[in-house]
Amino acid sequence: MSTPLTARIVEEHANAAAALPPAGPTAARRRTAIAALTASGLPTSRDENWKYANLRPLERLRFIPATATPALAATDLPAAIPGFARYVFVDGAFAPALSAPLDSTAAAVTPLAAAPDAGQASAAMAVQTPAPGAPADERFALLNEAFATDGAAIRVAAHSGEPVRLELVFVASADALTGASYPRVELQLDSQAHLLLIERHVSAGPHASFVNSAVTVDLGCGATLHHYRLQELAARAIVFDTLSAVVGRDACYRLHGINIGAQSARSTLAVRLAGERADLTLAVVALGERQQVQDTYARVEHAAPRARTEQVFRGISAGRARVAFNGKVVVGSEALGTDSRQSLRGLLAGPEAEIDVRPQLEIYTDEVRCSHGATAGKLDENMLFYLLSRGLEPEVAQRLLKWAFLEDVVARIGVAELRRQIEERLAQQLPEPAARAEST
Amino acid sequence: MTASRTPLLAINGLHVTVEGKQILNGLTLQVRAGEVHAIMGPNGSGKSTLAHVLAGRPGYQITAGTVSYEGRDLLALAPEERARQGVFLGFQYPVEIPGVNNVYLLKAAVNAVRKQRGLPEVDAFEFLGLVRDKMKLMHIEDSFLSRGVNEGFSGGEKKRNEVLQMLVLEPRLAILDETDSGLDIDALKVVAAGVNSQRSPERACVLVTHYQRLLEYVVPDIVHVLVRGRIARSGDRTLALELERRGYDWVSGEAA
């Protein structure tokens, strides 16, 4: 399925191939990815799981990796989180001067460019790498595979004891007309390893950057991963994100997504519960305003008995924004005793805003407990009147109710300083009229 | 109790429709500072509509009549302005708001009133002290402060919370809409103690109730019977006892 778009990607790749370092993905893997992309093409809005995404910007983007590295200072970055080692990547490339490496033997963090084979050290990674015939929704990861020049390979050793605390900051600075940013994370937790991982995507400057991130996660038996993903890119950025995870026996994966930034954002999450009693919580918050598009597609596959999934989504759409969450749970024939819950809720905060929440269940066995709830609506009139009747300004009451709507998901963020930063960021988006009035 | 000359609340010939249906039909009522009025009446007589219209709830069309509060047009004010001017509605069905905690709402409500009066925001420490005293009176536990507004509260807890809010806000005119419904006798006594504690010559209270039981503990100055959207009969507290004995049909029949 060669389209003008894929033809252009192939051509840009051919021109850039010689300059791409043999790091991260090897030349052979890049070629395989390009071949797979040529065969499958990128998704289009005719694809069922892509109809809410904004794919139009792809027509005018350049795909070669950005090269000019700007001079950034630590002050250009989000405030550090106490207790967390920090690794910073600018337009996909590791920036040691801005980083504060881990001081622990329990885990190894290796920039992919520094260790070409780091990513291949794990056999599991190779399995997860999308290949021809890979799930159609993970095709954007092929683009990352073809072009990524750097990234983080993280391995947490078995029985790591105290949780390892890591923060990855991916900074996008280039304009999409000059080059793209390809954040890449290859993460492996050995059995009984424990990791708290913050992954944030931010901008330096107001550029309309193109970011294409790919994250693979492999959780060994009994491993625990708390993964906080923040997308707070500048207002004109375009981002496509693909996360593929495999969760082993008795492993526990808590995945928190906070999607606030960018003009147009699509996150594709594919999690396979491969071991017995694997446990997944997927909690996503998305805010859209102006003409933003925030689209999340999550596919959770129960491939082993007695695994548990909880999907929680809270989205607020204002202005002319579109906020979508498409959450699919597939329960395979071997997944007896599956426990799956979905609670997807969208809030319309303007007459021209759009919310799409869509829970989907595919069950191929009996003896499962699956529940789902999905709602999309405006602020509750009764709640609003109750607050007004206590003297609160309408704007304050509305803001308070929006907060309350997000609260049960934000409250799950267990890292206090991170939660504070997120609340502050959310407060900017849900402005407090009282505070504004005081400052004038 | 000495009542001042100008009524605190004066309702004149009030006609209200809801979705085209006439609910209040020329209601006239005067409440002076210092007074406690009870408004009784059968289901569907318009008691709750009156309470909601006074608080400014949307969805009610006022087709005729006036309402003045402290000598000014109450109906021209937005709900939040009424609250800040000292009008309080205790809800028949208090709303659960998960994610907004009680102490936040109480503080925001108190500060809204203080701002109106040109006072600075309440001191956090002083405020907690004040709230705790009133919580004791209402038999509400400390842990309540950090819980979501009415979230998971029993019926009785919700009603006690309404009265607590009233005590903290110290309104000039409190309208309590069936605050007694669904309460057992112990809870009823607690609610009554709360209401009695804020009786004063400067303030007035309108109790909307279906049964006279509450009136044994909060003794009203005047009892009105509402039938088909207007006051059919007014009297002292013995009227409530007579109603209890003879039933609403007695007044309804007279009014027809």
In a domain? residue B179: yes
Tens digits of residue pLDDT in A410-427: 999 999 999 999 988 888
**Of A109-118, A333-342, B87-96, B215-224, minimum mean pLDDT range:** A109-118
Chain B residues whose CB is inside 8 A of the A404 CB are 97-100, 148
For position A177, what pLDDT does the model report? Answer: 86
Cβ-based neighbours of B60, under 8 Å, separated by 6 or more:
B16, B17, B18, B23, B49, B52, B53
Residue A19's pLDDT band (cuts 50, 70, 90): confident
Other Cβ atoms within 10 Å of B3 Cβ, number: 16
pLDDT score of B3 more than 80: no
When mean pLDDT is compared across A120-134, A154-168, B173-187, the lowest value belongs to: A120-134
Q: How many CB atoms lie within 10 A of CB A171?
A: 28
Count other Cβ atoms within 10 Å, centred on residue B43. 8
Domain that holds residue B104: 9-255
Q: What is the pLDDT of residues A429-438, one digit of tens each?
A: 775 433 333 3
Give the pLDDT of residue A115.
66
- Residue B4 belongs to a domain: no
Question: Is residue B125 in a domain?
Answer: yes
The CATH code of the domain that includes B135 is 3.40.50.300
Residue B118 DSSP symbol: T
Most B-contacting residue of A314, A390, A407, A432 (CB-CB within 10 A), to test interface: A390
| pLDDT class of B254 with cuts at 50, 70, 90 | low
Of A386, A393, A408, the CB nearest to B95: A386
Q: Write down the pTM of the prediction.
A: 0.86
Question: What average pLDDT score do residues B38-67 get?
Answer: 96
Q: How many domains does chain A have?
A: 2
- A192 part of a folded domain: yes
- Per-residue pLDDT at A216 exceeds 70: yes
Q: Does residue A202 lie within any of the structural domains?
A: yes
- Is residue A289 included in any domain, yes or no? no
From the list A342, A354, A372, the residue with the least C-alpha distance to A315 is: A354
> Do the domain assignments include residue A197?
yes
Least confident of A15-19, A208-212, A282-286: A15-19
pLDDT mean over A339-354: 95
Confidence of residue A94 (pLDDT cuts 50, 70, 90): very high
- Evaluate if residue A314 carries a pLDDT over 60: yes
When pLDDT is cut at 50, 70 and 90, the band that residue A128 belongs to is very low
Percent of chain A with pLDDT over 90: 73
Which domain-ending residue is among A210, A244, A275? Answer: A275
Local confidence band at A286 (pLDDT 50, 70, 90 cut-offs): very high
Q: What is the dihedral of CA A416, A419, A423, A426, to 10 degrees?
A: 170
Phi and psi (nearest 5°) for A12? -60, -40
Tell me if A286 is assigned to some domain.
Answer: no
Range of the domain at A418: 379-440
Asked whether residue B252 carries a pLDDT value surpassing 90, the answer given is no
The mean pLDDT of chain A is 90
Report whether pLDDT(B54) > 50.
Answer: yes
In the stretch 169-198 of chain B, residues with CB closer than 8 A to chain A read 169
- Tell me: pLDDT of A334 over 80: yes
Domain stops at, among A251, A275, A299: A275
- CB within 8 Å: A387 and B97: yes
- Asked whether residue A395 is assigned to any structural domain, the reply reads yes
Examine residue B1 and state whether it is found in any structural domain, yes or no.
no
Look over chain B and give the mean of its residue pLDDT values, rounded to a whole number. 93
Q: Would you say residue A342 lies in a domain?
A: no
Query: Are residues A391 and B112, on separate chains, in Cβ contact within 8 Å?
Result: yes
Question: Which of A382, A385, A426 should one mutate to test binding to chain B, selecting the residue with the greatest count of B CBs within 10 A?
Answer: A385
B248 — pLDDT class (breaks 50, 70, 90)? confident
- Residue at B3 is within a domain: no
B143 class by beta-carbon count within 10 Å (0-12 exposed, 13-18 middle, 19+ buried)? exposed
Q: What angle do CA B227, B91, B184 make, to 5 degrees?
A: 90
- Beta carbon pairs, A and B, within 8 Å: 76
Q: Hunting for tokens 């446990």 — which residue is that?
A: A279
For residues A179 and A37, membership in a common domain is answered with: yes
Number of domains in chain B: 1
Q: How far apart are CA A359 and CA A72, in angstroms?
A: 42
**A391 and A256 in one domain?**
no
- Tell me, what amino acid is at A134? A
